[in-house]
Chains A and B, each alone.
Chain A
Amino acid sequence: MVFLDELVGLTVTLRGTAADAHRGAVVRGDADWVVYVEGLADWGTTAGRPVEVTGLLVETPLAPEPEVRDGAVSHGAAGTRHVLRGATWRLA
């Protein structure tokens, strides 16, 4: 998402829906942007509810790049994702 790229390095508040991904809890916007909440494994019963999350927006890899060696595939994620570091949150 271009607008997120422009905010990297700033402390921001994002409003969206709490959702879970394999690499942790995320906040998801209407335009389908997804930002991970560092340090939070999952939202528990908060998943699916509107939240506001504030933290330092960074862009970082979430996992090693998947590799294929002799046909054997490894577990990972390609590229980088937006992450809120040092985040606090509340129900919106």
Chain B
Amino acid sequence: MAAVLGVGVTVGLAATGGLGVRPASAAPAAVTAGESLASSPRPGPGAESTDAVAPEAAPLPAGVKTRTWTVARYAAAWRRANGREMTDRERDALARGCIGVTTVNIERGNINPPLGLSFGTFDKARAVQTALDAVLAGATGRADYADRVRRDPLLSTLDNVTGALPGGDPTQWTAVVFSKRFHSGQDSGWTAEETERAFRPDARGQVDMTDYRYRAKPGYVNFDYGWYDPATGDWWHANHAEPDMEIYQSTLRYYSRPLLDFDRQVYSVTFAKKATPAWYSSTN
């Protein structure tokens, strides 16, 4: 490949091979400079949702892959869905970028979203979410929750299900799904074979994230979290932390598109605090 000065002088670069001056005007561009495939911010009317922690938004129209939201508009949609403003702590959490979007929707403080229940496919995560919600619905306490998990044909085969439940009454929690994209090279001491084996689903479909250290592939973004919104079927993520943070509402295909930054993607299930949707009290 060649790198060529566009100032009338051709400079050879041994590291890159061939040469050739090609002024920009020599041929039409394949794509227009500055073109963005993302659509404009268009927050839509309210969508009914039993998940009060998701922002109030319309699904992406057919054919639209992603939509960009300002943080202010996202916070307004979140307020409409939850019937209250974000607290200062929640705004601080949101300002962390994609990981902040997932964090504020879990409503468990300014934490890193737990990764103990991570899976290789969205379908597996959804199955676990459904099973967990069934167990939570009838649980009378932590001991009963643990007993129900032991008797569940799916949950009983998985690691970390009992330990993942936060404190307090189990019925205050609901199971939710988010995704995380990241780089496998989390330990510079690993061999290439060890890195290749890391963070792969096991026979049950579960991914062991114990050795994950939040490290980026050198020169790239450290990760991208996507919050799954069951009301719209879309995924909420972000460009980066503040300043100049933008929030994206995307299809799973667009959120998961091949990117040089990441070589792994998991779908994680965790527990979010239940809340009453703002629309619920006025319509029921």
- A-side residues, CB < 8 A to B, are 1, 3-4, 7, 10-16, 19-23, 26, 28-31, 33-34, 39-44, 46-47, 51-52, 54, 62-64, 66-68, 70-79, 81, 86-91
C-alpha spacing A67/B96, complex, angstroms: 9
Q: Does B241 lie within 8 Å of A64, measured CB to CB?
A: yes
Majority secondary structure of chain B interface residues (helix, strand, loop or mixed): loop
Q: Does B242 lie within 8 Å of A64, measured CB to CB?
A: yes
Q: Does A20 lie within 8 Å of B241, measured CB to CB?
A: no
In the assembled complex, B1 has its CB within 8 A of some CB on chain A: yes
Q: Does A31 lie within 8 Å of B1, measured CB to CB?
A: yes
Which residue from chain A places its CB closest to the CB of B98 in the assembled complex? A75
- Distance (whole angstroms) from the CB of A69 to the closest CB of chain B: 8
Known contacts A31-B15, A72-B110: A19-B21 contact under CB 8 Å: no
Interface-side segment among B27-35, B48-56, B187-195, B203-211: B27-35
In the assembled complex, B5 has its CB within 8 A of some CB on chain A: yes
Q: Does A42 lie within 8 Å of B37, measured CB to CB?
A: yes
Interface size on B, residues (CB 8 A): 61
Q: Does B24 lie within 8 Å of A54, measured CB to CB?
A: yes
- Distance (whole angstroms) from the CB of A45 to the closest CB of chain B: 10
In the assembled complex, B260 has its CB within 8 A of some CB on chain A: yes
Q: Does B1 lie within 8 Å of A10, measured CB to CB?
A: no
Known contacts A46-B31, A64-B240, A89-B29: A74-B99 contact under CB 8 Å: yes
C-alpha spacing A49/B29, complex, angstroms: 14
Q: Does A30 lie within 8 Å of B30, measured CB to CB?
A: no
C-alpha spacing A46/B238, complex, angstroms: 24
Q: Does B4 lie within 8 Å of A30, measured CB to CB?
A: no
Interface-side segment among B72-80, B124-132, B151-159, B219-227: B219-227
B15, B98, B110, B219: the one contacting A81 at CB < 8 Å is B219
Given contacts A10-B5, A13-B6, A40-B35, 14 further A-B contacts (CB under 8 A): A3-B13, A4-B3, A10-B7, A12-B4, A13-B4, A23-B239, A29-B16, A39-B35, A66-B241, A72-B103, A78-B219, A89-B31, A90-B24, A91-B30
